Amino acid sequence: MRRLAASLLDLVFPPQCHLCKVSLSHGKAICDTCLTDLPRIDESYCMRCSEPFEGEFSENPICPNCHKLTFTFLYAKAALKNSELTRKLIIDYKYGKQRHLAKVLATCCAEVIMNDSRFNSLPDPILIPVPLHWRRKLMRGFNQAELLTNEISKLTGIPSSPMIQRTRYTTTQTRLSRKQRMQNLKDAFTIKPNSRPIRTAILIDDVFTTGSTSEACASTLKKECAKLENIVVVTALRG
- According to DSSP, the β-strands at 230-238 and 76-80 are parallel
Residue (46 or 109) nearer to Zn ion, CB: 46
**Distance (Å, rounded) from C-alpha 92 to C-alpha 85?**
11
- According to DSSP, the β-strands at 189-191 and 76-80 are unpaired
**Distance (Å, rounded) from C-alpha 62 to C-alpha 53?**
10
Which SS3 state, helix, strand or coil, does residue 48 take? coil
Residue (34 or 185) nearer to Zn ion, CB: 34
Residue (119 or 208) nearer to Zn ion, CB: 208
Rounded to the nearest whole angstrom, what is the least distance from the CB of residue 20 to Zn ion in the complex? 3
Q: Binders of Zn ion among 129-168, rule CB under 5 A?
A: none
233 neighbors 218 (Cβ within 8 angstroms) = yes
**Distance (Å, rounded) from C-alpha 95 to C-alpha 19?**
16
**The binder of Zn ion chosen from 17, 130, 201, 225 (CB under 5 A):** 17
Residue (63 or 207) nearer to Zn ion, CB: 63
Rounded to the nearest whole angstrom, what is the least distance from the CB of residue 154 to Zn ion in the complex? 22
Greatest C-alpha distance within the chain: 60
- According to DSSP, the β-strands at 200-208 and 230-238 are parallel
Rounded to the nearest whole angstrom, what is the least distance from the CB of residue 150 to Zn ion in the complex? 24
Q: What is the dihedral of CA 202, 170, 238, 178, to 10 degrees?
A: -110
**Distance (Å, rounded) from C-alpha 39 to C-alpha 41?**
7
Residue (93 or 126) nearer to Zn ion, CB: 93
Q: Binders of Zn ion among 19-78, rule CB under 5 A?
A: 19-20, 31, 34, 46, 48-49, 51, 63, 66
**Distance (Å, rounded) from C-alpha 224 to C-alpha 196?**
11
Rounded to the nearest whole angstrom, what is the least distance from the CB of residue 230 to Zn ion in the complex? 19
Residue (66 or 202) nearer to Zn ion, CB: 66
Size of the residue set binding Zn ion (CB under 5 A):
11
Q: What is the dihedral of CA 54, 81, 18, 22, to 10 degrees?
A: 20
Residue (65 or 170) nearer to Zn ion, CB: 65
What does the per-residue mask of binding to Zn ion show for 89-128, with x meaning CB under 5 A? ----------------------------------------
Rounded to the nearest whole angstrom, what is the least distance from the CB of residue 52 to Zn ion in the complex? 10
131 neighbors 147 (Cβ within 8 angstroms) = no
Rounded to the nearest whole angstrom, what is the least distance from the CB of residue 228 to Zn ion in the complex? 23
Rounded to the nearest whole angstrom, what is the least distance from the CB of residue 236 to Zn ion in the complex? 18
Binding site for Zn ion (CB under 5 A): 17, 19-20, 31, 34, 46, 48-49, 51, 63, 66
